[in-house]
């Protein structure tokens, strides 16, 4: 059952969320400018967004959040707004929706993908996704279906336990009627599939308290990556290769085919009108044909752009792969040098196995002194100690270790590859001493 938001709202966040950042994304149906005349005729303007920005503004209390209707601007960029909620930092992420009038689906997908992949790279995962749908919508078609389709493809299935399918704008409709619509949304055709796989039906009543109630429920979730994040960052896919990109491309192909057929059919009708010397009908059909032709060109141009973006991304990926291979080949022949001075005091050894963190640098040519000035990277020198368990031996520095048994018992792992310290004696470069680890 969806929440009624009438119970007392706890303002105490779950204990384990204290001091942490909880990131929640708002997604869903977007606003739409109804006609070209509309920007000029204020009273004709009808804000049709689901209330993503409204939710963010009400709940975060940040008056800078732009809600459609104020300046009649729909959200076009992903933006996040943070606020404190009982010791935790809540970040609400406002996103643009998919809509065929204002911006192309590809632009919107790119915007969402850029933000989500960047945050995934920074290990900032979403604890929840609130998918909004206005209960005022009488029909479940067009924009509502497209947004839902894109949402499914962006999220995937693993994350659905963290998804709230939330209806908004309850104050704008008759309750009985709204409840009937809510039941329709719950049907298999619309939200049923998502609910069956873990998503939850909720209501947002337009107040901060109602929004906080939803947030409170999401706070103890384990943050998970969306499919789009996994596909872009982990699987290194191009936008077109992702489920969401494929979905847009398939839609563009279908659109292009449909419009082409329409243009052809209109042309046939127009020829008939010309033969019948029906100028009036010829004019009407020509105007209609020009409109469909424009839509056809728009779909074709968008499809082309997506293909070009894909080609550019493939080139970039190939270039990165080539560099990676080169780097690997270079490493194959390289050794790791660790400056003895980089090792400070090491704790007592309690066990047979141990390790300590320091910095190493890749050296391709051991006789090239300049290479010893190159950038360092974190390494862990691991070692075997031939002592009885429980006996404490104070070890201080690598310099001392090299005296006391630095050698084949000390090694570094880089991925699966083991680098061993084959010589006890450090070498001197630029006034510093380095211990060399070689593959083996
Ligand atoms: N009364 C009421 N009005 C709402 C609610 N949610 C949204 N609205 C109104 O609905 C309109 C659209 O809201 P937005 O928050 O801009 O919608 P959006 O989903 O961000 O739309 P886009 O940015 O175009 O994708 C605005 O006029 C809001 O004031 C709600 O829960 N209650
Ligand atoms: Mg908005």
Cα distances (angstroms) measured from residue 253 to each of 154, 174, 390: 20, 40, 70
| C-alpha pair distances (Å), 258 with each of 50, 149, 271, 300, 413 | 29, 19, 20, 12, 58
Provide the pLDDT for residue 377.
Answer: 93
Ligand nearest to the Cα of 69, by number: 1
Strand ranges for 58-209 from DSSP E: 79-85, 88-94, 128-134, 163-168, 200-203
CA distances from 132 to 30, 89, 94, 226, 346 (A): 9, 22, 11, 17, 55
- Reference 108, options 69, 59, 143; nearest CA is 143
Residue spans per domain, the chain: 15-233, 247-332, 335-439
pLDDT tens over the chain, length 440 residues: 444 444 444 555 555 666 689 999 999 988 654 444 444 444 444 556 889 999 999 999 998 898 876 545 588 899 999 999 978 999 999 999 987 566 889 999 999 999 999 999 999 999 999 999 999 888 777 888 889 999 999 999 999 999 999 999 998 889 999 999 999 999 878 999 999 999 999 999 999 999 999 999 999 999 999 999 999 999 999 999 999 999 999 999 999 999 999 999 999 999 999 999 999 999 999 999 999 999 999 999 999 999 999 999 999 999 999 999 998 888 888 999 998 887 654 544 444 445 678 899 999 999 999 999 999 999 888 776 555 444 444 444 444 454 444 556 678 888 888 999 888 788 999 999 998 999 98
Provide the strand spans (E) within 30-149.
79-85, 88-94, 128-134
Rounded Cα–Cα distance for residues 331 and 364 (Å)? 8
Instruction: Give residue 169's pLDDT.
Output: 92
- Per-residue model confidence (pLDDT) at position 425: 81
304: its two tokens: 């082309």
Instruction: Evaluate the CA torsion angle 78, 79, 85, 89 in order and state its sign.
Output: positive
Q: For domain 15-233, is the CATH number 3.40.50.300?
A: yes
E strand spans, 86-191: 88-94, 128-134, 163-168
- Contacts of residue 105, defined as CB under 8 A and 6 or more positions apart, other chains included, come to 98, 146, 150, 248, 251, 302
> Residues 101, 164, 6, CA angle at the centre, nearest 5°?
115
**Percentages helix, strand, coil for the chain, rounded to the nearest 5?**
45, 20, 35
pLDDT in the model for residue 154: 97
**Residue whose CA lies nearest to ligand 1 atom number 32:** 169
Please tell me the predicted confidence (pLDDT) of residue 423: 81
Could you count the other beta carbons within 10 Å of the beta carbon of residue 114? Answer: 14
The ligand whose atoms approach the alpha carbon of 103 most closely is 1
Question: Count of H helices and E strands in the chain?
Answer: 10, 13
pLDDT of residue 7: 42
- pLDDT for the residue 74: 81
**CA 56–ligand 2 middle distance (angstroms):** 9
Q: How far is the CA of 206 from the centre of ligand 1 (A)?
A: 9
Query: How many angstroms separate the first and last alpha carbons of the chain?
Result: 62
Sequence-separated (6 or more) residues with CB below 8 Å from residue 405: none
Nearest ligand 1 atom, CA 31: 24
Nearest protein Cα to ligand 1, atom 26: 68
d(CA 387, CA 261): 82
| Main-chain dihedrals φ then ψ at residue 45, nearest 5 degrees | -65, 135
Expressed in angstroms and rounded, the spacing between residue 52 Cα and the centre of ligand 1 is: 6
Q: Record the pTM.
A: 0.76
Q: Is the CB of 211 under 6 A from ligand 1?
A: no
Q: Which atom of ligand 1 is nearest to the CA of 132?
A: 19
The whole-angstrom separation of Cα 107 and Cα 126 is 22
Whose atoms come closest to the Cα of 48: which ligand?
1
Distance 33 CA to ligand 1 centre (A): 14
Q: Is 42 helix (H, G, I), strand (E, B) or coil?
A: helix
pLDDT of residue 276: 95
Cα 165 to ligand 1 centroid, rounded to whole Å: 16
């Amino acid at each position: 059952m969806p929440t009624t938001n009438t119970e007392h709202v706890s303002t105490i966040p779950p204990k384990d969320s204290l001091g942490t950042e909880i990131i929640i994304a708002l997604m869903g149906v977007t606003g739409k400018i109804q006609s070209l005349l509309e920007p000029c005729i204020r009273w004709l303007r009808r804000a049709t967004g689901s209330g993503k920005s409204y939710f963010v503004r009400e709940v975060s209390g940040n008056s800078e959040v732009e809600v459609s209707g104020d300046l009649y601007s729909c959200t076009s960029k992903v933006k996040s707004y943070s606020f404190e909620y009982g010791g935790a930092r809540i970040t609400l992420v406002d996103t643009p929706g998919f809509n065929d009038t204002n911006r192309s689906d590809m632009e919107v997908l790119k915007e969402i993908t850029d933000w989500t992949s960047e945050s995934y790279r920074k290990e900032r995962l979403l604890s929840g996704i609130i998918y909004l749908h206005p209960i005022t919508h009488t029909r479940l078609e067009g924009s509502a279906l497209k947004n839902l389709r894109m949402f499914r493809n962006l999220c995937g299935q693993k994350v659905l336990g963290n998804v709230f399918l939330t209806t908004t704008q309850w104050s704008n409709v008759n309750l009985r009627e709204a409840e009937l619509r809510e039941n329709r949304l719950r049907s298999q055709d619309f939200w049923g599939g998502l609910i069956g796989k873990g998503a939850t039906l909720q209501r947002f009543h337009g107040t901060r308290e109602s929004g906080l109630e939803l947030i409170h429920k999401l706070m103890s979730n384990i943050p998970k990556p969306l499919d789009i994040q996994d596909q872009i960052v982990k699987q290194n896919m191009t936008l077109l290769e992702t489920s969401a990109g494929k979905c847009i491309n398939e839609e563009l192909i279908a659109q292009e085919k449909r419009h082409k057929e329409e243009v052809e059919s209109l042309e046939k009708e127009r020829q008939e009108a010309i033969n019948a010397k029906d100028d009036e009908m010829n004019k009407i059909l020509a105007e209609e044909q020009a409109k469909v032709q424009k839509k056809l060109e728009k779909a074709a141009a968008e499809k082309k752009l997506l293909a070009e973006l894909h080609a550019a991304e493939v080139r970039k990926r190939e270039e990165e792969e080539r560099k990676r291979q080169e780097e690997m080949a270079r490493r194959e022949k390289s050794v790791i040098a660790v400056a003895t001075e980089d090792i400070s005091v090491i704790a007592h050894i309690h066990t047979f196995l141990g390790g300590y963190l320091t910095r190493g640098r890749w050296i391709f040519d051991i006789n090239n002194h300049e290479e010893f000035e190159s950038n360092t990277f974190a390494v862990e020198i691991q070692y075997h100690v031939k002592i009885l368990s429980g006996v404490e031996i104070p070890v201080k520095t690598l310099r001392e270790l090299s005296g006391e048994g630095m050698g084949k018992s000390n090694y570094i792992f880089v991925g699966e590859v083991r680098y061993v310290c084959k010589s006890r004696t450090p070498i001197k470069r630029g006034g510093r001493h380095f211990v060399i680890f070689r593959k083996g």
